[in-house]
Amino acid sequence: MSDLNNIDFENMTAADFETVLPDLFASGDGRVSEDPRLQKFLAANPDAAALVRDLETIATHARSLFDEQPEVEPSDDVWLNIQKKLNSEDEGGPVAANA
């Protein structure tokens, strides 16, 4: 990974940008589009700015997958299988020994 302290943000090329982008996202709060060091480059490279916005959107929406966790349930078979396994272990396996 790159060392952000050694990057010349003023004269950054597209290749430099690609290299530092993972670290930029990993540092701070991940709001790369608001990073003052990048404003000049992003203004001059609208495709790069669009990429940053899209990646921010993806990260934000990913967090909402946790926050608004949908009601995804395993089938009833899962619990039935757990019961079966535990009962069979209880009849002579390690669980009975600890009971």
Partner 1 sequence: MNPIETLPVQAVPEVAPEQAKPKPGLFKRNPPIAGEAEAIEAAKNGDAEAFSKLYALHKRRVYTLCLRMLGNVSEAEDMTQEAFLHLFRKLGSFRGESAFSTWLHRLTVNLVLMHLRKKGLNLVSLEETINPSEEDAPKRDFGSRDLNLTGSVDRVALERAVASLPPGYRMVFVLHDVEGFEHNEIATMLDCSTGNSKSQLHKARLKLRELLRQAQQQSSPLANSAPKEVLQ
Contacting residues toward partner 1, per CB under 8 A: 1, 14, 18, 21-23, 25-26, 45-48, 50-51, 53-55, 57-59, 61-75, 77-83, 85-87, 90-91, 94-95, 98-99
| Angstrom distance (rounded) from CA 24 to CA 20 | 6
Between 10 and 58, name the residue whose CB sits nearer to partner 1.
58
CB of 54 to partner 1, least distance (A): 4
| Angstrom distance (rounded) from CA 48 to CA 53 | 9
| Angstrom distance (rounded) from CA 19 to CA 93 | 55
Between 37 and 56, name the residue whose CB sits nearer to partner 1.
56
CB of 94 to partner 1, least distance (A): 7
CB of 29 to partner 1, least distance (A): 10
Query: Which run of H or of E encompasses 14?
Result: helix 14-26
Between 8 and 68, name the residue whose CB sits nearer to partner 1.
68
How far are the Cα atoms of 20, 40, 71 from residue 78, in angstroms, in the given order?
45, 55, 16
- What is the number of helices (H) and of strands (E) in the chain? 5, 0
CB of 36 to partner 1, least distance (A): 21
